[in-house]
Structures are given as C-alpha cells and as structure tokens.
Amino acid sequence: MKTVPRDADPATKARAAFERNARSVIACHRCPDLREYIAQVAHEKRRAYRDQTYWGKPVPALGDPMARLLIVGLAPGAHGSNRTGRMFTGDASGRWLFRALHRAGFANQPTWERPDDGLQLTDCMITAALRCAPPGNKPKPHQLATCSVHLAADFALVEPRLRVVVSLGAIGHRAAVKMLESRDWRFAKRPIFGHAAEHVATREGRTLYVICTYHPSQQNTSTKVLTEPMFDAVWTRARELVDATL
C-alpha cells in the first residue's frame, strides 16, 4: 500500500482516502446475509446479462474526492451496480441520474456504458446508505445501521469542502440527516423529506444545504411521479448553491 507524504497536496490526500474507503467497502463482511445474497445474484444472473461477469461485492462510492456536492442514494441494484461495481450504473435509475448530472455540469458525459468509457464526475461524489443490494430492494434497519460506518467515512472525506447534499429518496434522506446530526450539524427546522424540499444545516459558522428528490427509480419515472424537468430542477439548484460558494 502506497504511503502518502504528509506534505502532499489536498487532492492527493483526498484521493488516497477515497481509495482507502473503497478498499474498506469492498472487503466488508459486516452483513453476511447480504454478502451471501449478492454473491447468489452474481452467480445466477439475469438472462439479459448472462454473458457478463457480475461484480457481486459491496459497492464503493463513485466520483470526485474533492467534491462539494454529495449525493446519497439508497443501495446498489441487484442487476445494476451489483453487476457493474460502480455506484448507480447499469440500470434505468443511473441513466436518469447521469443525464441530469451531465446537464448540470457535474458529469462529462450523459451515459455510462462500461468501466472504461471515460465517465468522470467533477465536484460531485455519489454514495449510498447501503453498499450491498438488498433482497427486494428493501434494506432492513439493522443493515442500514451496520453499513453507516461506510457512509460516515465518505462524509468525513468530503466534509471539509462539502456545501450541498442531495438525498435520493426517503431512505437516503434519513441516512443523510442522521449522519449529519451525528457529526454535530444542526437543522433549524425538522428536515422533512419531500421532492425539492431544501433544508439548511449549520455547524461552527458553516452552512450546508440538503436538497431532497424523489428517487429516479423505474417505478417513479414510468408513472411520472418523477419527471425529467422535476429532476433537472433539483440539480440546477444544487449547481447554483455549489457555485455560490466559490
């Protein structure tokens, strides 16, 4: 393991911490039942992906270690990130998210096709409340609690520069709020989840914005509970808040 010099620049230190966090996530066996489940999914595969090799392990964060925007999602999809090994890729939710991030200037391209396709996030990092795909896409409270150590590590990494948190769905929002409060961020009002709801947290003279959005799940998008204009408005606002802190 390469040692980072004490006098290394902040970006180098952040990249090293990001890679440490990723190794910790990938090696995690805190939830044996989930590890067994994702390995089973990777072995059985979905027919459409039967010729592909599934990742089948916990999924680390994706993006820029120097990010001022942190996105907190729910969990990897069984045949999405659990297949690709990259957060929020490989399924319909990811297609929505990366199109929106590209339009808002946080991603260099609107699509993800394969690990070597050149996708890069700038000033943005994507993490999740749970790192293993849960059965039925329904995480249990004790699984979320156990996995919070990884969310804490990602928050600690970006916290010195963090300005905006976007929570995808109610579970991601609760995880983000709980994590912020555990790190002594305080909300003036109860941060209730609702699409495009915006909350302000403060700590030691700093201000942090938390924006909620409905999750871009296929269920939400196909039923028009979430439309692209609704989704884009969230990222436009996130862009405004990030840029206002330059």
pLDDT score at 115 = 74
pLDDT score at 116 = 78
> In 123-234, which ranges are E strands?
124-128, 164-168, 186-187, 198-203, 206-213
pLDDT level of residue 141 (50, 70, 90 thresholds) = very high
pLDDT score at 172 = 98
Neighbours of 4 (CB within 10 A): 16
Q: What is the pLDDT of residues 101-134, one digit of tens each?
A: 999 999 999 988 777 788 999 999 999 999 999 9
Query: Which residues on adjacent β-strands are paired with residue 62?
Result: 126
Q: What is the pLDDT of residues 11-46, one digit of tens each?
A: 999 999 999 999 999 999 999 999 999 999 999 999
Taking the whole predicted model, whether its pTM rises above 0.85 is answered as yes
**What percent of the chain stands above pLDDT 90?**
91
> CB-based burial of residue 155 (10 Å sphere; 0-12 exposed, 13-18 middle, 19+ buried)?
buried
Please name each of the domains of the chain with its CATH number: 10-243 (3.40.470.10)
pLDDT score at 133 = 98
pLDDT level of residue 4 (50, 70, 90 thresholds) = low
